[in-house]
Amino acid sequence: MKPVTWPPLVWGVVCGAAASGNFQWTVEDVAKSIVCMMMSGPCLTGYTQTLNDWYDRDIDAINEPYRPIPSGAISENEVITQIWVLLLGGLAFAGLLDVWAGHKFPTVFYLALGGSLLSYIYSAPPLKLKQNGWIGNFALGASYISLPWWAGQSLFGSLTPDVVVLTLLYSIAGLGIAIINDFKSIEGDRAMGLQSLPVAFGVDAAKWICVGAIDITQLSVAGYLLASGKSYYALALLGLIIPQVIFQFQYFLKDPFKYDVKYQASAQPFLVLGILVTALATSH
């Protein structure tokens, strides 16, 4: 289930709650947000990761044969059971949140259902979106940034078209982040015919596409905030972009294989803080 992948989803819920402008530090609102985080992180992200590992078992047998499925540490029946338990648990949490929030239309449930379907077609044939580096990585970025934000904002308020567009734009930065993980899988992706961006464009071009997607997206959002009269938020976002660029040159652009983890640990906290700054800007 890869717990290390849950924090971005949990943070997305925080950003959505902040963007709603309606979150209060009451026991009930905190409890709602925790349930929404459980739905987004352990349940639905856990479902996504398990599903992805199952359909990637042949690639992982080449790249990382020690992982639970290719190594035989977990059986097929156990994998299938885990997928269903996590999926149904996540959808049950979503339905509970809609009832708890008094929604006439089950917004959170349909977001969870749509996200679960996106997870399936991302990993499973015949569509298997991850076969295409552009489509697959954007779908991944949208899942990690837009979906939990939308869930948190729908839980405490309502989604607006400008927020939907803004979060989908931010998902291009998520595309860049997703590319980072493709470098370690080049050998297996090439053997299995997957057109990840490092396979399709080569290592040097892919690393510049990666940092370009991350930086240009954030600069565009800062420009949008500035044009909207949110100059202090725009300046705060620009201040958070600078250390990311420094770490890109210090680590990632030097060697995306050797420094991928170090770069993510150094730079991504500034990225996620920037997302919160944007969420707070949209709530005022």
Same domain, 121 and 49: yes
Where does residue 106 rank: exposed (0-12), middle (13-18), buried (19+ CB within 10 A)? middle
3-state secondary structure of 195: strand
pLDDT top residue among 244 and 64: 244
Same domain, 248 and 169: yes
Q: Is the pLDDT of residue 54 over 80?
A: yes
Distance separating alpha carbons of residues 269 and 13, to the nearest angstrom: 16
Q: For residue range 178-192, what is the model confidence (pLDDT) as tens digits? A: 899 888 888 888 887
Same domain, 131 and 213: no
* Structural domains counted in the chain: 2
Same domain, 152 and 269: no
CATH of the domain at 212: 1.20.120
pLDDT top residue among 193 and 159: 159
Under 8 Å between Cβ of 263 and 251: yes
CA-nearest of 41, 50, 118 to 79 is 50
Same domain, 155 and 167: no
3-state secondary structure of 132: strand
> Rounded mean pLDDT of 231-239?
97
| Single residue among 95, 124, 159 that ends a domain in this structure | 159
Work out the pLDDT band at 132, boundaries 50, 70, 90: confident
Q: Which domain holds residue 194?
A: 160-283
Same domain, 44 and 148: yes
Distance separating alpha carbons of residues 220 and 170, to the nearest angstrom: 9
Same domain, 241 and 179: yes
Same domain, 7 and 139: yes
Work out the pLDDT band at 155, boundaries 50, 70, 90: very high
Q: Is 2 left (phi over 0), alpha (psi -120 to 50) or beta?
A: left
Work out the pLDDT band at 108, boundaries 50, 70, 90: very high
> Rounded mean pLDDT of 108-118?
97
Same domain, 122 and 228: no
**pLDDT > 70: what percent of the chain?**
100
Check residue 249 and give its pLDDT: 96
CA-nearest of 41, 44, 16 to 101 is 16
Q: For residue range 62-85, what is the model confidence (pLDDT) as tens digits? A: 888 999 999 999 999 999 999 999
| Single residue among 159, 189, 209 that ends a domain in this structure | 159
Distance separating alpha carbons of residues 178 and 47, to the nearest angstrom: 18
Q: Is the pLDDT of residue 211 over 90?
A: yes
Check residue 97 and give its pLDDT: 98
**pLDDT > 90: what percent of the chain?**
81
Distance separating alpha carbons of residues 246 and 228, to the nearest angstrom: 28
CATH of the domain at 150: 1.10.357.140
Same domain, 232 and 196: yes
Same domain, 201 and 131: no
Check residue 187 and give its pLDDT: 83
Q: Is the pLDDT of residue 193 over 90?
A: no
Same domain, 197 and 234: yes
Sign of CA dihedral 116, 273, 135, 162: positive
Work out the pLDDT band at 149, boundaries 50, 70, 90: very high
Check residue 153 and give its pLDDT: 97
Check residue 57 and give its pLDDT: 92
Q: For residue range 87-104, what is the model confidence (pLDDT) as tens digits? A: 999 999 999 999 999 999
pLDDT top residue among 32 and 188: 32
- pTM more than 0.95: no
User: What mean pLDDT is reported for the chain?
Assistant: 93
DSSP H helical segments within the chain, as ranges?
6-20, 27-38, 46-55, 57-63, 68-71, 76-101, 107-123, 133-156, 161-180, 186-192, 197-201, 203-227, 231-247, 260-282
Number of Cβ atoms within 10 Å of the Cβ of 134: 15
| Single residue among 103, 131, 159 that ends a domain in this structure | 159
Work out the pLDDT band at 284, boundaries 50, 70, 90: low
